[in-house]
Chains A and B, each alone.
Chain A
Amino acid sequence: MRSQSERPNPLFRNLNAKIASIPMVLTALVVFVGGTAWTVLYSFTNSKLLPRWKFVGLDQYERLWSTPRWLVSIENLFIYGALSLIFSFVIGFLLAAMLDRKIRFEDTFRTIFLYPFALSFIVTGLVWQWLLNPDFGVQHVVRLLGWESFTFNPLYDRQLVIYGILIAALWQGTGLIMCLMLAGLRSIDEDIWKAARVDGIPVWKTYLFIVIPMLRPVFVTTLVIIASAIVKVYDLVVAQTGGGPGHASEVPAKYVYDYMFLGQNLGQGFAASTMMLLSVVIVIVPWAYLEFGRRGRR
């Protein structure tokens, strides 16, 4: 939306919008670009407890990629990320669609689905650690009920532990996704539903071919929220499994944190976070450019 092109100096065109965007510009440049550059720069040093300008080239990166724990972390992030993305979307949308069916007790259901989001990840992890503990959680109780051979022990099984974390993460986060989708669904004009009904289009088709394409902006927001949460997942893992058993549920953000502060090896932590950033940039920037960089409205 270009306005008032008769103004001579292009700098003053849209002046109010520019002034209003100053906080955003500053944040983007100083904090995100500046902070990132600083981090990348210091990843080439052997900074330990304090950032120190002692250049060591790619040493930190060589060590990083020869560390088994880092490799496991990356692998876990992919598994967790893909599943979390799919399930959050599907469950969030289905719940929203169900609540949008003019049901009774909508308020009650919505609150039930949303309340876990009010609790921090630390607590989420703790509660689910209990629930999934084989000796006093779900498995124990089912066995007490008489099903002696029942086995459900995801947190202490190296193959399954990441799914145990997924269960807790979905519990905590899907409520918000549902809320966003519901807000999106509610913004759709009722006439569209009426028209679809008049034309005899089945409900599922209406959702799939008419409603979902209209929800595109909501989906984009949701995608960014879920994906950024996936990359940053940390507290939940710490509280629920501490990365264990062994390294089976380690994630990159935890590697970064542990080496920066526990290991007092800032250089290593910065190198790991630079790799995280790099992968984000490779995936996100082209997409973000296509999504947001285009001219005009939507």
Chain B
Amino acid sequence: MNENRPEKSPLQVLLVDDEQGYLHVLEKRMERRGIKVTTAATGTDAVGILRGTDFDAAVVDLKMEDMDGIEVLNIFKKMVPEMPVIILTGHGSEKAARQGMAQGAFDYLTKPCDLEDLLEKIFQACQSQGKDCAQRAVSAPGKDES
């Protein structure tokens, strides 16, 4: 789990949301920006994936069919306490989002959100762990056009 990844390896992000369409398009857009994205449509899947892989950050939707976003957050925090978790929430659910913050989430964003905002948060989360995430993303292949 704690293998020391090379400095130039791409940023690894776990996306958890029950909206497949949303996962799909986000994955494609983020991959294009040099971020390695793993998606999970349910909380259970996400926990399974987290067991095998190490991530720089996780983005979790609050509303899912099988598990509450807060529950997923709690499990993540137990499994990998140092991994920052960003919560996605609908407008008006700030109360739940704030609850998540209290339980160790790094920050929250209201849906629909700009990809740029999300990336910004992810970078901030990485940096909070002492990693130069933005540098890794920008230098990743596929993003060299911009």
Q: Do A and B come from one complex?
A: no
A interface list, Cβ under 8 A from B:
none
